[in-house]
Structure 1
Amino acid sequence: MAKDTPLETAPDQLPSPEPYTAPSSHPASPAHPPLSRSSDRSRGWLLFDAIVDRASQTTTSPWVRDDGRLVYRPDFATLELLLGVPLRLGAPTTSGVPALALDVWLVYELHRAGFASDVVWPRPSEPRILPGPIAELVKSLPKRESEELRRRLETSKSLRSAAPSEARILGKNYEKQVDVLMSHWSTGPELMISTKRMDSSFGKNAPNRIEEAYGDAKNLRLRHPLAAIGFFFGIRSTVFSQAPMTAEWIVDLMQKLSREDDAYGATCLLPMEYSEYEGGADHDDAGDQPVEAVLEHLPAVTVREDLVPENVRTSVFLGRMIQQVLSATPVTHHVTVRERIKSASRKEKS
């Protein structure tokens, strides 16, 4: 896979700011009901959706000028809110909610970049996994029929293959569950991002996570050589103080994972700084409160990108992933993203 494309190696080639329009398929949510005492994952989704709804109304384009260069500037404020959700709920790693916060944010960023919401999964509304053509069918039907089909897609076991609970992609040798996926029946997978999160036991867990990531990259790349494949690793910042040698080893391997043509096109290491949530019984009380009330008291989380090299930071990661998608598709695909690049070029010349 070619890696010396202009946008990958020169941040000054990235597109400049344009007004951001929230995905039209995302339901408006001016007010949310109280959280039910359902699973951590269900409660997490309610809070994630509310955060993204709110951010989508005020966010700007990710492309900005910095010291004469055009770069991708991620919305860390929204990310830090999303990362506070699993802490507020007391959701354990096994619930999937801590890693899901990363998935939701990456999808949100791809929407900010201009990719259509119906082809990037998980979608911003139920069903979370739904092929684009089926989503278009749902939207094209009269309201009553559309609501009935949506209900059946969400509840009917016989339609599980059309709207599965997770995205699974066949690699060279085995199927792999992909956390963030952009795909369409006409193109196949165009972008695949595997997200991992590690908050403790760094010396014990880090080798397993890295080995899994390396094997997954080879498996997917050998069947999908043109797809943009990335690895996004969220790690608690305490690793840099508690296990500095382990931290250095992780940083080194994260950089090396994107150097092989048959592995990842980009990797990102995201340090997250937070304190243990001291809400005590509030973990359970969150189920009785309106979503807005819970969002007003999320634990503080800070992204610490200053702890890692530039080539594994989110700005570089997202820029590379987006450019790889554009480089592997005709100009008639992802027109909105391309138009923003053209618009940025015209503004520079003027």
Structure 2
Amino acid sequence: MSDAKSLKAQAWTLFDRIVELAAASEGRTTGTPWFRYADGRLTYWPDYAVLQQLLGVPLLLNAPSQSGVPALGLDVWTSYELRRAGFEPDLVWPRATPPRILPSTLVALRREATREQLRVLDSMLQSGKTYNNETGASANILGKNYVKQVDVVMSAWNTGPEILISTKRMDSSFGKNAANRVEESYGDAKNLRSRHPQAALGFLFSLRSTALKPQFEDVAAWIVDLLGKLGREDDAYDAVCLIIPEWSDEVAEPSGDDGDGEDPLVSAGLTSARLPEDEPLPLELPESEVDRQLRQLPAVELNRKAVPSTLSPEVFFATIVNRVLDNSPVNFHREARRRRANPA
């Protein structure tokens, strides 16, 4: 097993346990992420505590950026929030269990299968094999001109993609890589929007708080300004989100150049040289051992004051959810509509 694949297997073990515990806790409370204030404002309230835990996993594992683990924490949180909003869990990718991508036709097949058929089918699906990339951990979506690996997706056979969210993370090298990350995201938005005009298109960007230090403040201001402009065009993103995590300098930060491990040529199907044969599966560890590791997670805080309200996760998720519900018939996504109509 390659180092990157081993790190992902370790990360999935911790990610899954964090999400499992959070989902169980959510079920014991209101069961909806929507809140209505006394003045009548309806607000989506993200689970920031889960995000902080997920962001601590790559730090605990000292996972380099090229492994894909640091960015994966953002994907897990984003898909977790979409499930909190009430969307069909199996159709939101990455799923909370392997395989992380499961086409809607296979979801329907599982529902109709007998117990014996289900046993055989699940043994295949949970083996880690990607079956020509139809299941697995990477969703490659055809845009107008090229195929793009999209980090968080909600899609079904009868609807096509309804949510397409890209995530990027920058923990260092702010001046070196900032322009590349933003320019790439702008081109990706145009490419995806042209083929999927009705999909809710989002971009979530994580910028480490050290970018706010005086020596980087001009670059940080430039990044924040560009992020705000990415969501202003009708043919680009519907919503853009900024999170600013901070952690102690004593914690070893993930090494690398803030790449996310994606290879555009692999996504396009031009080469399979870097495409793993199997999906990394969570390690089979006792819950007590996993919980012990979670107790050792480095503390990660969120600087929410430095995030403009238009780029806040509250606005981001509300916009994404509302666009999906507004662009679909009233008999679609009933649970998401119910949760929005019954805020805490």
Shorter chain as denominator, the TM-score bin is: 0.7 to 0.9
What is the rounded CA distance, in whole Å, between the counterparts of 2:206 and 2:251 in structure 1? 22
Matched-pair contact (CA < 8 Å) for 1:217–1:229: yes
Between the aligned partners of 1:202 and 1:226, the Cα distance in structure 2 is 33
2:105 match: secondary structure:
helix
Question: Could you state the TM-score of these two structures normalised by the residue count of structure 1?
Answer: 0.82
2:244 aligned with 1:271, yes or no?
A: yes
Matched residue, 1:331? 330
> Is 1:62–2:61 an aligned residue pair?
no
The equivalent position to 1:119 in structure 2, one of 87, 91, 102, is 91
Write the mapping of 1:66-81 to structure 2, written as runs, cut at 5 A.
Answer: 66=37, 68=39, 69-81=41-53
CA distance in 2, matches of 1:86, 1:225: 35
Contact kept? 1:277, 1:299, Cα under 8 Å: no
Alignment of 1:79-228 (within 5 A): 79-155=51-127, 159-228=131-200
Percentage of pairs with the same residue: 50
Deviation of 1:230 (Å): 0.5
Mark the CA change 1:75 to 1:343 in structure 2 (over 3 Å): closer, same or farther: closer
In 2: Cα distance, 1:156 partner to 1:307 partner: 41
Q: Which of structure 1's runs of 4+ aligned residues deviate more than 3 A?
A: 154-158, 276-280, 341-344
Q: Which residue of 2 aligns with 1:32?
A: none
- Structure 2 CA distance for aligned equivalents of residues 262 and 192 of structure 1: 14
CA RMSD of aligned residues (A): 2.3
Contact 1:268–1:314 (8 Å) recurs in 2: yes
Where do 5+ consecutive residues of structure 2 fail to align? 254-284
Secondary structure at 2:244 match in 1: strand
Matched, 1:257 2:230: yes
Of structures 1 and 2, the one scoring higher in RCO (CA 8 A, sep 6+) is 2
Gaps in structure 1 of 5+ consecutive residues: 1-36, 281-286
Q: In the alignment, which residue of structure 1 is the partner of 2:202?
A: 230
Q: Which range moved further: 182-191 or 158-167?
A: 158-167
SS of 1:306's partner is coil
Compute the displacement of 1:277 (Å). Answer: 5.4
Question: 1:72 & 1:38 partners in 2: Cα distance?
Answer: 35
Task: Tell me the equivalent position of 1:27.
Answer: none
Give, as a single letter, the amino acid of the residue that structure 2 aligns with 1:62.
P
How far is 1:154 from its partner? 4.0
- The whole-number CA distance in structure 2 between the counterparts of 1:81 and 1:165 is 21
Q: Residue 332 of structure 1 aligns to a residue in which SS?
A: coil
SS in 2 for 1:193: strand
Q: For 2:321 and 2:110, how far apart are their aligned partners in 1?
A: 28
Q: Aligned residue pairs: how many?
A: 304
TM-score, normalising length from structure 2? 0.83
Tell whether 2:20 aligns with 1:53: yes
| Structure 2 CA distance for aligned equivalents of residues 136 and 324 of structure 1 | 25
